[in-house]
């Protein structure tokens, strides 16, 4: 009954707007979430509604609809005939079930209004970028885009004036907003391309007109939207299609990307990229060290980034730095300044001596495999792996999560903390099938797990927080 009456609480309107916002205003995803929700008082669990102009407009629409319906109901109740009374009560009961669709229609109306405005803004940005003299670098891929962007930005800034959109400004409108902040004298511009549907990367190429591209790899991330890995790959490689005459760096350790990359692609791996070879690499909780060699040239490198899986990106950044004119000394200095990015294998040590590796923005199978490999290299410590699993794995959901369980078992991770939802039982299956001998600990919610961990860990423990679980997923 409580769940039913949550539709009649004043907070219901806020919950619906939050669901729209968290679904990135995708009506199909929003209505699917609405359809499987029973208690609307509990949809804001991990995040909260951001009061953006669009969200405030939708809240205003909601309350306007409530006031209109309220006036109609009061009028019906005050009327003399019984039919008006019945109609008023019926409208009062059914309105909360209609309101979600009213908001969906409001979104469609907003899109019609916004479309010419956004088209104008992006066309202005395209003209500004076409005039801009900077070298424009575009990054596409299922994973690792933000890390590559930040590595490049850090390294190239040692010798060039570099700018890149902040956060997740990886859509046409986001990039257009970023372009308005440019001074015009930048030497290098770095763009992260978001891909959610076929054609997205091509549209971004037409907006930015990049001179150089990087493809970080292809996996099941967003498979729920793309439906097949082939469509994912085709969308990401729209960048290579556009740069038919320009250099394209491709992650050579990603088998699918390597297999379909153009012949003239520049592959980067943990062994190096083009002119630079990476040797004598080692990694631990203090960072990663290695040597870059090119003929008689040698650069000794220490980066605060964790894990040997970062070598390829660091080597690619070094090669691109050479390409745009940085000296070896500048490259060395830039690499030394690279460090963990927010929520991407970010290390923190608390007052009790427990080390937390926050990898909560890493939600793809390749990233999971890399961090489990890093955890396995940390001997002499008790290791914790905390996860709600991965979202948007589509038809490969069982395979992906069974594999995570098997990889955890093979790595000998002592403690696996699973947040109860639709996919974590599949991780447990993989653990048990592989004869896991450690401890599996269950929590109903991530926040409860995070609150309990300080009472369960001791000095020297390493706790890996793998991925976040958005509220819209069951």
The residue extents of the domains of the chain are 2-115, 133-336, 346-466
Of 146, 139, 188, which Cα lies nearest the Cα of 324? 188
Residue 459 predicted with pLDDT over 80? yes
Residue 229's CB: how many other CB atoms inside 10 A? 17
Phi and psi, residue 4, nearest 5°? -65, -45
Q: Which residues have CB under 8 Å from 12's CB, separation 6+?
A: 6, 40, 96, 99
Considering only 16-20, 77-81, 147-151, which range has the smallest mean pLDDT?
Answer: 77-81
Distance of CA 445 to the CA centre of its chain: 20
Which residue carries 């797990």 as its tokens?
449
Identify the band that residue 474 occupies on the pLDDT scale cut at 50, 70 and 90.
low
> Please, what CATH class does the domain formed by 133-336 belong to?
alpha beta
Distance (Å, rounded) from C-alpha 229 to C-alpha 244?
Answer: 23
Residue 398 predicted with pLDDT over 80? yes
Q: Do the Cβ atoms of 257 and 218 come closer than 8 Å?
A: yes
Considering only 246-255, 336-345, 358-367, which range has the smallest mean pLDDT?
Answer: 358-367
pTM, 2 dp: 0.84
Residue 473 predicted with pLDDT over 60? no
Tens-place pLDDT, residues 19-46: 998 888 889 889 988 988 888 988 887 7
Helix axis angle, 82-131 relative to 172-179, nearest 10°?
50
Tens-place pLDDT, residues 325-338: 999 999 999 999 99
> Where is pLDDT greater, at 179 or 81?
179
CATH superfamily of 346-466: Mur ligase, C-terminal domain (3.90.190.20)
pLDDT for residue 73: 84
Of 266, 288, 265, which Cα lies nearest the Cα of 278? 288
The top-scoring range by mean pLDDT among 85-99, 123-137, 360-374, 391-405 is: 123-137
Tens-place pLDDT, residues 149-181: 999 999 999 999 999 998 778 889 899 999 999
Distance (Å, rounded) from C-alpha 337 to C-alpha 350?
Answer: 23
Residue 195 predicted with pLDDT over 90? no
Considering only 174-188, 192-206, 316-330, 383-397, which range has the smallest mean pLDDT?
Answer: 383-397
Average pLDDT over the chain, rounded to an integer: 91
Identify the band that residue 224 occupies on the pLDDT scale cut at 50, 70 and 90.
confident
Distance (Å, rounded) from C-alpha 40 to C-alpha 55?
Answer: 17
Cα–Cα distances in angstroms (integers) from residue 42 to residues 3, 51, 358, 426, 470, in the given order: 9, 18, 25, 25, 13
Q: Which residues have CB under 8 Å from 55's CB, separation 6+?
A: 17, 20, 21, 49
Q: What is the mean pLDDT of residues 366-382?
A: 92
Tell me the three-class secondary structure of the chain, residue by residue. Answer: CHHHHHHHCCHHHHHHHHHHHHCCCCHHHHHHHHHHCCCCCCCCCCCCCCCCHHHHHHHHHHHHHHHHHHHHHHHHHHCCCHHHHHHHHHHHHHHHHHHHHHHHHHHHHHHHHHHHHHHHHHHHHHHHHHHCCCEEEEEECCCCHHHHHHHHHHHHCCCCCEECCCCCCCCHHHHHHHHCCCCCCCCEEEEECCCCCCCHHHHHHHHHCCCEEEECCCCCCCHHHHCCHHHHHHHHCHHHHHCCCCCEEEECCCHHHHHHCCCCCEEEECCEECCEEEEEEEEECCEEEEEEEECCEEEEEEECCCCHHHHHHHHHHHHHHHHCCCCHHHHHHHHHCCCCECCECEEEECCCCCEEEEECCCCCHHHHHHHHHHHHCCCCCCEEEEECCCCCCHHHHHHHHHHHHHHHHHHCCCEEEEECCCCHHHHHHHHHHCCCCCEEEEECCHHHHHHHHHHHCCCCCEEEEECCCCCCCC
For residue 195, what are its two tokens?
């891909």
Considering only 148-152, 279-283, 387-391, 399-403, which range has the smallest mean pLDDT?
Answer: 387-391
**How do strand 266-269 and strand 272-273 relate by DSSP bridges?**
antiparallel
Q: Do the Cβ atoms of 362 and 396 come closer than 8 Å?
A: no
Please determine whether the domains at 133-336 and 346-466 fall in the same fold group of CATH: no
pLDDT for residue 469: 64
pLDDT for residue 1: 58
Measured at the CA of 472, the angle between CA 468 and CA 474, to 5 degrees, comes to 85
Helix axis angle, 365-376 relative to 397-411, nearest 10°?
10
Distance of CA 301 to the CA centre of its chain: 28
pLDDT for residue 89: 83
The top-scoring range by mean pLDDT among 9-13, 116-120, 209-213 is: 209-213
Distance (Å, rounded) from C-alpha 468 to C-alpha 465?
Answer: 8
pLDDT for residue 472: 54
Q: What is the mean pLDDT of residues 423-444?
A: 95
Residue 470 predicted with pLDDT over 70? no
Distance (Å, rounded) from C-alpha 468 to C-alpha 362?
Answer: 8
Q: How many residues does the chain have?
A: 474
Q: Which residues have CB under 8 Å from 39's CB, separation 6+?
A: 2, 3, 6
Tens-place pLDDT, residues 89-120: 888 889 999 999 999 999 999 889 888 988 99
């Amino acid at each position: 009954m409580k769940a039913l009456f949550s539709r009649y609480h004043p907070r219901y309107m806020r919950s619906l707007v939050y669901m729209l916002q968290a679904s990135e205003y995708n009506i199909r995803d929003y209505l699917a979430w609405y359809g499987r929700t029973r208690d609307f008082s509990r949809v804001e669990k991990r995040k909260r509604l951001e009061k953006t102009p669009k969200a405030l407009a939708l809240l205003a629409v909601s309350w306007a609809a409530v006031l209109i319906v309220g006036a109609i109901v009061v009028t019906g109740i005050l009327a003399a005939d019984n039919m008006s009374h019945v109609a008023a009560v019926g409208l009062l009961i059914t309105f909360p079930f209609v309101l979600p669709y009213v908001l969906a229609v409001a979104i469609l109306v907003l899109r019609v209004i916004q479309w010419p405005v956004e088209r104008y803004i992006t066309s202005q940005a395209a003209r500004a970028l076409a005039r801009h003299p900077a070298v424009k670098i575009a990054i596409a891929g299922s994973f690792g885009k933000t890390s590559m962007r930040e590595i490049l930005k850090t390294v190239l800034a040692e010798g060039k004036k570099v700018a890149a959109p902040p956060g997740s400004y990886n859509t046409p409108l986001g990039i257009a907003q970023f372009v308005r902040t440019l001074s015009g004298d930048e030497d290098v511009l770095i763009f992260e391309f978001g891909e959610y549907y076929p054609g997205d990367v091509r549209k971004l190429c037409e907006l930015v007109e990049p001179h150089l591209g990087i493809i970080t790899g292809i996996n099941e991330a967003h498979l729920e939207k793309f439906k097949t890995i082939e469509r994912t790959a085709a969308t990401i490689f729209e960048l290579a299609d556009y740069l038919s005459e320009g250099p394209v760096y491709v992650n050579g350790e990603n088998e699918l990307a390597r297999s379909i990359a153009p012949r003239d692609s520049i592959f980067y791996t943990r062994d190096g990229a083009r002119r630079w070879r990476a040797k004598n690499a080692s990694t631990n909780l203090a960072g990663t060290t290695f040597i870059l060699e090119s003929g008689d040239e040698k650069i000794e490198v220490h980066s605060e980034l964790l894990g040997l899986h970062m070598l390829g990106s660091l080597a690619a950044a070094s090669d691109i730095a050479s390409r745009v004119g940085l000296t070896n000394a500048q490259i060395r200095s830039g690499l030394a300044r690279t460090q963990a990015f927010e929520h991407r294998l970010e290390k923190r040590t608390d007052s009790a001596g427990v080390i937390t590796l926050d990898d909560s923005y890493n939600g793809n199978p390749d990233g999971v495999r890399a961090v489990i490999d890093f955890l396995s290299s940390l001997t002499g410590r008790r290791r914790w792996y905390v996860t709600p699993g991965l979202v948007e794995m589509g038809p490969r959901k069982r395979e992906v999560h069974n594999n995570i369980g098997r990889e955890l078992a093979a790595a000998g991770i002592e403690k696996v903390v699973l947040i109860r939802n639709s996919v974590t039982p599949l991780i447990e299956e993989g653990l048990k099938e592989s004869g896991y001998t450690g401890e599996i600990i269950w929590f109903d919610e991530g926040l409860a797990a995070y609150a309990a961990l300080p009472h369960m860990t001791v000095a020297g423990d390493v706790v890996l927080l793998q991925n976040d679980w958005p509220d819209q997923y069951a």
